[in-house]
Chains A and B, each alone.
Chain A
Amino acid sequence: MVASEHPRANLQPLTLHVPEPKFRPGDAVDFVGVDVPPAGEARRPDTAAPAREFTDLAYTLVRVLDDDGRAVGPWDPKLSPDVLRRMLRNMALLRAFDERMFRAQRQGKTSFYMKATGEEAVSIAAAQALDFEDMCFPSYRQQGLLIARGYPLVEMMNQIYSNRGDKLQGKQLPIMYSARDYGFFSISGNLTTQYPQAVGWAMASAAKGDTRIAAVWCGEGSTAEGDFHSACTFASVYRAPVIFNVVNNQWAISSFSGFAGAEATTFAARAIGYGIAGLRVDGNDALAVYAATQWAAERARTNAGPTLIEHFTYRAEGHSTSDDPTQYRSAGEPTAWPLGDPVARLKQHLIAIGEWDEERHAAQDRELAEYVKAEQKEAEKNGILGHGLHQPLDTLFDGVFEEMPWHLREQQAQMMAEEEASGRPWARK
């Protein structure tokens, strides 16, 4: 045995660092530690600039809307009032939809639901800045992309209810949509798998001389998965026309962002090591999200390479209908969040520029609630989960392969025989 020459007994004992969030249930919350630079301060580099020339943008926050609701600084996308109102409406619609569907789950109409409350700007403003033809690879919290692209609410609800109108034949967990015609990739339950897939789609588009780009989303917690890092490497090597969105909503179920590395650096700064552009954006500022997405899209479209955008936001509610956040975080956090509420901030801006008012807003909220309710009624005509089986039984075997091999045909026949023997009335509906 070879011993080291150090007298080990004299060395200082090592200690293991385990991150701990600042607030737990019962704690009073103050977010003074969260650095919020003034709106308009961050510079806007040329979209063709080499990534190493603006590494500072990975550590600040691109913000457009100031405390008074004015749009300021070089990132102001100077959108028309019509576009602003459309974004506001879509964000409010997303919120109304989430509320209704969350309630439907609580009423036992389906098994599961996930809201995007507090993160509406992230998906709605990005969809507004992308072309409809650009391909989106979402996580489970970007239902706003579908809403902004005009996907029928009824179709979303049919999927949530796994009912007879569900285009996915009841095969997927609620909210795991797929909408190819709307440039919306099939959602996976396994985190971050969509990241390298988006890069592959973008590389294919580039190899074919196409003009479409890809955009992909994951949560900050999900950046720990190896797939995230594989995607960054590929995108960097091939300068893939892709936009990486990291939605930093501070929590991954019960684990705060420190368990994904946020104590040491920002998520936007992950880009620097890969040599790709990184932007850190106020995710509750729809104009900042729009501007950053537009910038990254232009960069991708001009073959200048990928961009990683960290959307700094806050998950205002539970992870899903299976979660109770009061078990692990302070109930005071959502209201104390220093970047405010994305819907309220865009509304304030529209009012500030004289293009909106409280009465119109209240009327719109009422109208949207009625609209969602009517769509829900429509969807429920196709059934809800738990009221019998809505899919023909043999669809269970559809789509395993393009053509059904003998062993599946045999199993399918066995299942139908089993059904005959069961005498279960629910199964025959």
Chain B
Amino acid sequence: MSDAMTDTGTTRMNMIQAINSALDLCMTRDPDVLVMGEDVGYFGGVFRATAGLQAKHGKTRVFDTPITETGIMGVAIGMGAYGLRPVPEIQFADYIYPALDQLVSEAARLRYRSAGEFTSPITIRSPYGGGIFGGQTHSQSPEGIFTHVSGMKTVIPATPYDAKGLLIAAIEDNDPVLFLEPKRIYNGPFNGYWDKPSENWSKHPAGDVPTGYYKVPLGKAAVVREGEALTILCYGTMVHVCTAVIAEHNIDAEIVDLRTLVPLDIETIEASVKKTGRCMIVHEATRTSGFGAELSALVQERCFYHLEAPIERVTGYDTPYPHSLEWAYFPGPVRIGQALKKIMKDA
């Protein structure tokens, strides 16, 4: 699975530890990599993803910032223009909006407008998604806003193994990458059954993470389960929810974890849907103009004559993320199960 490994050991990691390990490795290998953001320095981040990095790599390479996301993004772009490789953290994806102009008009367009004279080799890390009773400003899934922007990549890991390998690949990439971390699965592969105890990563095969350097290439999806009955396109937390739901319904689905939304692994998607003849798309983000709409259009354009049922989209509702009705909002096992019944009706 990995391209390059010198250190061949592995160890049990949760997703936070895997991200921390990727940052540490990149900083050790490349003196131009630096980490910045609100509370990431001495404290090591509100989710502890940067813990220990300042003590090890020093204050000028791992530092706290003023609370201004516009500033964080603009400063990262300027450091990138100098030749550094900044990895800014936005504390919650819900707080990325003040940085929108710097991200959309600047980072994503710098290469194009300067004909390659200046680039933005930055990786913006940010926890996203719900399921933690965070209310509307600690729960959003804004990926669709950013996949709509040309010139930046969007990556979402679903396991500790992928989180580390993808983050290393993102940091080494010379274009701006938005690296969204599904915070509900930081500690374990939450399967959507909120009222049952959750597992942690120690029992999951993808919680076994190489301690050394490896990359998971951007733009490559993972078929996490092969199957014949239908294709499920998903990413982040929903990979684990979908895996649990098809087991419950005993359906031989093929589950594709997209891992990178832009650039998308269209070959894997096309091959899978042409094989199964059915396609269901699952994301936590709101429905209208969500990334599922793009996936649905692509599948329709490329696989229409292979489809045996209309494409199903299972998503969060088009409302702000509620606090107390969190589990009514979340596209969990019941909603996915109903969509499964619908799409498999004539099978």
Contacts and interface: CB of A to CB of B under 8 A. Distances in A.
A112 B324 CA distance: 12
Given A170-B323, A422-B334, A188 B59 contact: no
Interface stretch (A50-58, A61-69, A251-259, A278-286): A251-259
Contact of A400 (B71, B134, B319): B319
B268 interface: no
A190 B59 CA distance: 27
Contacts of B337: 421
A254 B324 contact: no
Given A172-B323, A190-B98, A411-B287, 13 more contacts: A18-B41, A18-B60, A111-B134, A166-B324, A172-B135, A176-B135, A190-B97, A191-B67, A224-B68, A225-B68, A252-B38, A259-B64, A389-B327
Nearest to A16: B60
Contacts of A170: 322-325
Contact of B43 (A166, A222, A226, A328): A328
Interface in B42-91: 42-43, 46, 59-60, 63-71
A226 B74 CA distance: 12
Contacts of A252: 38, 67
Interface stretch (A73-81, A94-102, A364-372, A391-399): A391-399
Interface of B: 38-39, 41-43, 46, 59-60, 63-71, 94-95, 97-98, 133-138, 195, 287-288, 317-320, 322-325, 327-329, 334-335, 337-338
Contacts of B64: 18-19, 254-255, 259
B170 to A, nearest CB: 25
A189 B94 contact: yes
Given A16-B60, A400-B318, A260 B66 contact: yes
Contacts of A19: 64
Given A18-B60, A427-B328, A421 B338 contact: yes
A415 interface: yes
Given A226-B70, A390-B324, A253 B46 contact: yes
Contact of B323 (A20, A171, A328, A417): A171
B67 A173 contact: no
Given A176-B135, A391-B324, A397 B59 contact: no
A160 to B, nearest CB: 11
Contacts of A422: 334
Contact of A396 (B68, B94, B328): B328
Contact of A190 (B46, B65, B95, B134): B95
A418 interface: yes
A171 B39 contact: no
B317 A397 contact: yes
B328 A419 contact: yes
A428 to B, nearest CB: 12
Chain B binding surface SS class? loop
A418 B136 CA distance: 22
A353 B323 CA distance: 48
B16 to A, nearest CB: 15
Contacts of B133: 111-112, 385
Contacts of B322: 170-171, 396
10 contacts: A170-B324, A172-B136, A190-B94, A190-B97, A226-B68, A255-B38, A261-B66, A391-B324, A400-B319, A417-B338
B288 to A, nearest CB: 7
Nearest to A393: B328
Contacts of A224: 66-68, 71
A245 interface: no
A37 to B, nearest CB: 27
B136 A225 contact: no
A420 to B, nearest CB: 10
A90 to B, nearest CB: 27
Nearest to B63: A18
Contacts of B95: 190-191
Contacts of A144: none
B317 A396 contact: yes
Given A171-B322, A173-B323, A254 B138 contact: no
A48 B68 CA distance: 34
Nearest to B60: A16
A291 B280 CA distance: 64
Contacts of B338: 417-418, 421
A259 B66 contact: yes
A43 B328 CA distance: 58
Contacts of A173: 134-138, 323
Nearest to B324: A170
B138 A189 contact: yes
Contacts of B134: 111, 173
Nearest to B51: A327
Contacts of B65: 259
A14 to B, nearest CB: 11
A408 interface: yes
B325 A189 contact: no
Nearest to B132: A111
List 9 A-B pairs, minimum CB-CB distance, nearest first. Answer: A189-B137, A170-B324, A173-B135, A254-B43, A224-B66, A162-B324, A111-B133, A224-B68, A18-B59
Nearest to A408: B318
A269 B328 CA distance: 48
Contacts of B94: 189-190
Interface string A182-206: 0000001111000000000000000
A9 to B, nearest CB: 19
A6 interface: no
A411 B328 contact: no
A275 interface: no
Interface string A397-417: 100100000011001001101
Contacts of B63: 18
A44 interface: no
Contacts of A189: 94, 135-138
A71 B46 CA distance: 42
A196 B53 CA distance: 37
Contacts of B317: 396-397, 408, 411, 415
Contacts of B327: 389
Interface in A373-393: 385, 389-391, 393
